[in-house]
């Protein structure tokens, strides 16, 4: 089961209480205060890990508590500190404060470590309150409370290339053709209910190149408002470096205009992104003049357009889509995942774009 969002409650350990005690030993009259300090409460720590790829372990276990510190003892013995609780999350997880909505941390690399709830400090024993005029103090401190927080976890897949398009546009078939991934493929909408990842390799040793492609569940008009699968998976596109927009040019889809399909999906992507501003030109709206290197408003990503199912294409649809894409100055490929036509050219093009993007970073 793929779980990409969860809410958790964390409670760090409370600090142990300081002790009030006096030294009582033979031949040592008036030994003085000897109360030890309480131990510190355990922190709640979150660590990014490559061993996990979903948040399912938080869905069924939403509460996590750090161990409290032990109380101080006599003879100036301090209590033991509480053990930290370590929560592992997949790389690509964003941590948000549930109450304020503020982004606390974005786990982009493995083994990132963040304290999300600080344990309480242990209380001081009465030994700390002795002075020259107050030699038998009975004051001691209670342990501080550990932090208690509510968080929302949101997983965004880390992939180099994201495949987007209408349901049944051929995304699952394409990823099964270019990688070892074996997603479910069927002739009805929303076959893909969760993102699928596949590793694509091009070239041969020692110049072998590889990259990760994500097959995103199909989008429809109004997806950014919750239609279809809604925004449940749109967030995963934000971390990709390159978008491949698949458009069905056969008559199997039942939709008459591939150009309209292209515009609708791009509008959903543009409406979802929070990074686009009104001052930035939208290269996918209207038929105005586009820049030479079109940048998608969603995190400034380059887009490649693919006409799919050309083995059974409607020539008029293919011609219309080709003319529209070239007028927009976008890179265009015509492919058939069934016959393999255009697949190798697409793979090399993706590798070239990713190589360029990596060099620019």
Secondary structure (H, E, C), the chain: CCCCEEEEEEECCCCCCCCCCECCECCECCCCECCCCCCCCCCEEEEEECCCCCCHHHHCCCEEECCCCCCCECCCECCCCCCCEEEEEECCEEEEECCCCCEEEECCCCCCEEEEECCCCCCCCHHHHCCCCCCCCCCCCCCCCCCEEEEEEEECCCCCEEEEECCCCCHHHHHHHHCCCCCCCCCCCCCCCCCEEEEEEECCCCCCEEEEEEECCCCCCCHHHCCCCHHHCHHHHHHCCEEEEEEECECCCCCCCHHHHHHHHHHHHHHHCCCCCCCCCCCCCCCCCCCCCCCECCCCEEEEEEEECHHHECHHHHHHHHHHHHHCCCEEEECCCCCCCCHHHHHHHHHHHHHHHHHHC
Residue 69 and residue 38 in contact, taking contact as beta carbons nearer than 8 Å: yes
pLDDT in tens, the chain (361 residues): 456 789 999 999 999 999 999 988 888 888 899 999 999 999 999 999 888 878 888 888 899 999 999 999 999 999 999 999 999 998 889 999 999 999 999 998 999 999 999 999 999 999 999 998 998 999 999 999 999 999 999 887 777 888 888 887 888 888 888 887 665 554 544 444 567 778 888 887 777 888 888 887 756 555 444 444 545 566 667 778 888 999 999 888 778 888 998 888 887 777 765 433 333 444 444 444 444 333 334 545 788 999 999 988 889 999 999 999 999 889 999 999 888 899 999 999 999 988 887 765 5
* Nearest to 269, CA basis, from 290, 259, 283: 283
Give whole-number Cα distances, 99 to 59, 92, 146, 316, in Å.
19, 22, 18, 53
Q: Which residues pair with 152 in a beta bridge?
A: 7, 96
pLDDT tens per residue, range 107-124: 989 999 999 999 999 999
Q: Cβ(13)–Cβ(67) under 8 Å?
A: yes
Per the CB < 8 A criterion, the answer to whether 192 and 215 are in contact is yes
The Cα 12–Cα 146 span in angstroms is 5
Kindly report the backbone phi and psi dihedral angles of residue 175, in degrees, each rounded to the nearest multiple of 5, phi listed first: -65, -30
Q: The tokens of 158 are what?
A: 């880390």
Give the C-alpha separation, 155 to 6, whole Å: 9
Which pTM was predicted? 0.67
Residues paired with residue 334 on neighbouring β-strands, in sequence order:
307
What are the extents of the domains in the chain? 1-155, 161-360
Report the topology of domain 161-360: Rossmann fold (3.40.50)
CATH number 2.70.210.12 given to 1-155: yes
Question: Do 1-155 and 161-360 come out as alike in CATH topology?
Answer: no
Q: Pairing mode, if any, of strands 113-117 and 63-65?
A: unpaired
Q: Please, are residues 51 and 95 in contact by the beta-carbon 8 Å criterion?
A: no
């Amino acid at each position: 089961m793929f779980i990409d969002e969860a809410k958790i409650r964390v409670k760090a350990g409370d600090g142990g209480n300081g002790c009030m005690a006096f030294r009582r030993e033979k031949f040592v009259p008036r030994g003085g205060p000897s109360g030890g300090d309480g131990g510190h409460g355990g922190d709640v720590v979150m660590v990014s890990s490559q061993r996990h790829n979903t948040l399912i372990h938080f869905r069924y276990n939403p509460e996590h508590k750090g161990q409290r510190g032990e109380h101080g003892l006599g003879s100036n013995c301090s209590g033991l500190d509480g053990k930290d609780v370590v929560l592992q999350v997949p790389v690509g997880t964003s941590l948000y404060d549930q109450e304020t909505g503020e982004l606390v941390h974005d786990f982009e690399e493995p083994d990132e470590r963040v304290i999300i709830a600080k344990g309480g400090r242990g209380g001081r024993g009465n030994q700390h309150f002795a002075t020259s005029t107050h030699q038998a103090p009975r004051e001691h401190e209670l342990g501080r409370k550990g932090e208690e927080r509510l968080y929302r976890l949101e997983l965004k897949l880390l992939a180099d290339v994201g495949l987007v398009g209408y349901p049944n546009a051929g995304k699952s078939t394409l990823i099964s053709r270019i990688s070892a991934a074996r997603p479910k493929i069927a002739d009805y909408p929303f076959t893909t209910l969760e993102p699928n990842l596949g590793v694509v390799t091009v070239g041969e040793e020692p110049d072998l190149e590889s990259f990760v492609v994500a097959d995103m569940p199909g989008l429809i008009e109004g997806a950014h408002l919750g239609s279809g699968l809604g925004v449940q998976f749109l967030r995963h596109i934000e971390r990709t470096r390159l978008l491949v927009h698949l458009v069905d040019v056969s008559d199997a889809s039942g939709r008459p205009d591939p150009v309209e399909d292209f515009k609708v999906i791009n509008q959903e992507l543009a409406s979802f992104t929070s990074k686009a501003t009104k001052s930035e030109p939208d290269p996918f709206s209207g038929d105005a003049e586009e820049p030479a290197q079109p940048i998608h408003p969603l995190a400034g990503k380059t887009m490649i357009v693919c006409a799919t199912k050309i083995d059974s294409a409607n020539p008029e649809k293919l011609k219309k889509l080709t003319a529209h894409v070239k007028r927009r100055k976008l890179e265009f490929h015509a492919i058939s995942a069934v016959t393999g036509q255009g697949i190798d050219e697409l793979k090399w093009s993706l590798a070239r774009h990713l190589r360029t993007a990596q060099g620019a970073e």
